Each structure stands twice: as structure tokens, then as C-alpha cells.
Amino acid sequence: LNEFELIARYFQSSQYSDDVLLGVGDDAAVVTVPDGFKLVTSVDTIVEGVHFPNNSAAADIAYRALAVNLSDMAAMGAIPKWFTLSLCIPTIDETWMNGFAKSLNALASQFKVQLIGGDTVKGPLNISVQIMGVVEQDHWLTRSGAQPDDLIVVSGKPGEAAGGLRLLMNAHSSLHDSHHEQQLIERFLRPVPRIALGRELRSIAHAAMDMSDGLLTDLKKLCFASNCGARLQLDDLPKSSLLAAMFDPEQCEQLILNGGDDYELLFTIPSASLQQLISISNAIGVRCTLIGVITAGDQVECMRGNEQVTVADSGYDHFK
């Protein structure tokens, strides 16, 4: 298979709407942004041994490459529309390519995002996806709009993905046969982009972001961007029975606060919007948990009951 045949075989994707005027095959793609909308774009690269364990299945790598980008669209309140794929692979292995393309196309079709171009080169395995979406004029979400007294909310069960990764990396358990183990590993391998939640949050959230590096470190980023502080109630963090089954309570709290790889949304709302959030959460079936409040300060304080406690922030930083 040469490069041209590879692209033709694996990356001629389905068309989901007529806004793609020119897709894969030309020198560049041409798309239409509907009137009243703005283009939202983001890129994320994933590298073997850094973002996913060495020798991960091609299907898992493809899912992750697109899912983390969809998650960025969710955090912006955008509708994901198109993406490009830069694929750096050491060899053309057809079994690997099949697994990769099948998984990529399945997730793309689930969210109706169309592959419109890319680049294919030989080298150490790494995959870069650039995603493009659209959002109603002046209604995108940002990290910078949080205000004192806002409620801090998190979707899903942060920490589970990191727990799953830990199990996956555990050399002793090559057979992950317990149900709990499998579910946690699934949380790491198949994070669900919170697109529907992001769309709904446009009407109520003051600030939003998706969490990839750890709840504590990501909350600090949101606070920094918004020029405010936060008081986090450790007792209110969403409890995971899966984590509790596999890790001791202290490890569970560490995974929740510093785990990373969650791809859940972290956002703030004015307390007056609480009822609306409850309706949204019920309507779309995504658990949302209040975990604290935004303060006028510039620190993120962690509280256990009425007492402030010090928690190490060991969130992910590539260069630390």
C-alpha cells in the first residue's frame, strides 16, 4: 500500500452535511460556516508512551485522538463539524490501519463530524487531530467568566479514568477480569465527549473548561483565567463506587483531585441557575455535582467540613 492508496482506502469519510464543499483529496478543504455562527477550532496531539501506553490497540488510539478534540468543542459549547488528521506511523500495517480507521469513523459518525483532510507521514507513532466546530455568535463558553459566589460544578466521576490507567499500567494484572477493573479501564480508553452538556451550558454557565490534567490543577487554570479564587469542598467530590472497590479512600481522593484524563466538564453557574442545571442534567442524563464556590480571592482552598486542608497539586504537566 502506498501513501495515496492508504488515504483512498481509509480516509474517504462519509459526508454528514452539505457544508463541506471540498473534502479529502484536494490540496485543502473548503467548508461553509452558517450565518450567525462562528468557527471554533482546536488541535490536540497524542503521542505513544505519553498520552497512551505503548502498544495500545489502534482502535483505542483512534478513539482517544478524536475524543479529546471533541471534548474541547464541548468545553466551548460548540457543535463539532469537521476535523483533519495528521498521522505519523512507523509502517503501514493493514490490520492496525483497519482497526484505527474503523474506530475513528465510528466515533466520527456518532458525533457527525467529518474528516476533511490530513497528512500521512512515516515516523514514531503520533497522531494529531485538528477539530473545527461552530457556535452561535457571541455564545461560546470560556474559562474566564467565573464570578465570586458562582457554584463550581463537575460532570461525571473524575478520577475514574486515572484509576483505569493505573490498572492498565499495572504489570501484575495482565488479566483485567474483574468487572470493576474493566469498567475503570473503559473510562480511560473511552472518555465520552460531553457535547450535549456543553451545548446546554451556553445558557447558564459563566465559565467552562474540559478537564484533562486533573481537577485541582484544571480548577486553578479556570480561576486564573477568571481572576478569582475557589473554595473546594472535598466532602462533596463525586464518589465513585468503582474507585472505592479498587483503591483505598486516600488513593481515591488523590485520583479524583489529581488524576487527569477525565475529559469531564468543569464549569461555574450563578446559584440562581441551579434549578435549570438540575433540569439539564436530568434531561441529558449526565450527572453533575456541586463541588464548591468561586471566591473573590486568588487561591484555590480545599475544605474538609469547616477546616481548610492542604492538598498536594500533582496535576499533569508535560515539562515538570
| Residue 59 binds ligand ADP (CB under 6 A) | no
Q: Is 63 or 247 the residue whose CB approaches ligand ADP more closely?
A: 63
Least Å distance, CB 88 to ligand ADP, is 10
When binding is defined by CB under 6 A, the residue of 20, 24, 151, 162 that contacts ligand ADP is: 24
Least Å distance, CB 14 to ligand ADP, is 13
Spatial neighbors of 173 by CB under 8 A, at least 6 apart, are 167, 181
Least Å distance, CB 126 to ligand ADP, is 12
Least Å distance, CB 85 to ligand ADP, is 4
Q: Is 85 or 167 the residue whose CB approaches ligand ADP more closely?
A: 85
Least Å distance, CB 26 to Mg ion, is 8
Task: From the list Mg ion, ligand ADP, none, pick the one residue 35 interacts with, judged by a Cβ distance below 5 to 8 Å according to partner type.
Answer: none
Q: Which three cell numbers stand for residue 152?
A: 463550581
Q: Quick count: other Cβ atoms within 10 Å of Cβ 193?
A: 25
Rule CB under 5 A: which residues touch Mg ion?
27
Least Å distance, CB 188 to ligand ADP, is 25
Looking at residue 217, its amino acid is T
Task: From the list Mg ion, ligand ADP, none, pick the one residue 168 interacts with, judged by a Cβ distance below 5 to 8 Å according to partner type.
Answer: none
Spatial neighbors of 249 by CB under 8 A, at least 6 apart, are none
Identify whether the C-beta of residue 124 lies closer than 8 Å to the C-beta of residue 83. no
Closest CA to 64 of 55, 51, 74: 51
Give the DSSP H or E segment for 27. none
Q: Which three cell numbers stand for residue 149?
A: 459566589
- The rounded distance, in Å, linking the Cα atoms of 228 and 233 is 17
Q: Which three cell numbers stand for residue 262?
A: 477525565
| Residue 91 binds ligand ADP (CB under 6 A) | no
Q: Is 26 or 149 the residue whose CB approaches ligand ADP more closely?
A: 26
| Residue 78 binds ligand ADP (CB under 6 A) | no
Identify whether the C-beta of residue 41 lies closer than 8 Å to the C-beta of residue 78. no
Question: What residues from 117 to 156 belong to the interface with ligand ADP (CB under 6 A)?
Answer: 117-120
- The rounded distance, in Å, linking the Cα atoms of 152 and 201 is 13
**Contact residues for ligand ADP (CB under 6 A)?**
7, 11, 24-27, 85, 87, 115, 117-120
